[in-house]
Structure 1
Amino acid sequence: MESSGMLRGLLFVGLLTVLCHGQASREVSAEDFAVEKPESAADKDLIEALEALLGKMHSTEKRGNIPTCGMGDRCAMKFGPRIGKLCDCGRGANCNSYLLKCI
């Protein structure tokens, strides 16, 4: 049973390798993205509105809402087969999935 799943996985990876081998990357030049200066006031207003919207989207990222917890603090909670995140461990620490604490 387990070997058939492993065989399927190897076949899938082999197929992806063969399909992706033919893909060639191509360099992007400045000519591909010819940017023209906005000439009308409506274009300038549209650009300013888009920049403001992008600024708001970056300020309300999902990771920004998760509080930071210290070493040894509980960072996750187990809900049956799933683990929910309570807080994000600080720099240099990871949330241990067995102890559910920052180590």
Structure 2
Amino acid sequence: MESSKMLRGLLLLGLMSILSRTQATQEVSAEDFEVEKPETAADRDLAEVLEVLLDRMNNHISSTEKRGSIPLCAMGNRCAMKFGPRIGKLCDCGRGANCNSYLLKCI
């Protein structure tokens, strides 16, 4: 008899602790999904400054890429030009092809 009362008490205590934990987690999860605050003037100013910096970086990167890029040649096209003892590149051969220094063509 006494053991059944103890068992009921322990079950009741366990049930109460489980219910209190689930209630606490529900309160925390409700706080996590609050509506965000509207932007302040400082946030907008910071975003504008970042946009200007990104535009400058994109312009700088694109100008360096334009100078260093060499167009691709098709197979059999001229890929180099002879300037006296030197050979200069007109274009770069595609994947799997090489520029032959004797024929000056992509093979």
TM-score band by shorter chain is: 0.3 to 0.5
**TM-score normalised over the length of structure 1:** 0.47
More helix by share: 2
**TM-score normalised over the length of structure 2:** 0.46
Question: Max radius of gyration: which structure?
Answer: 2
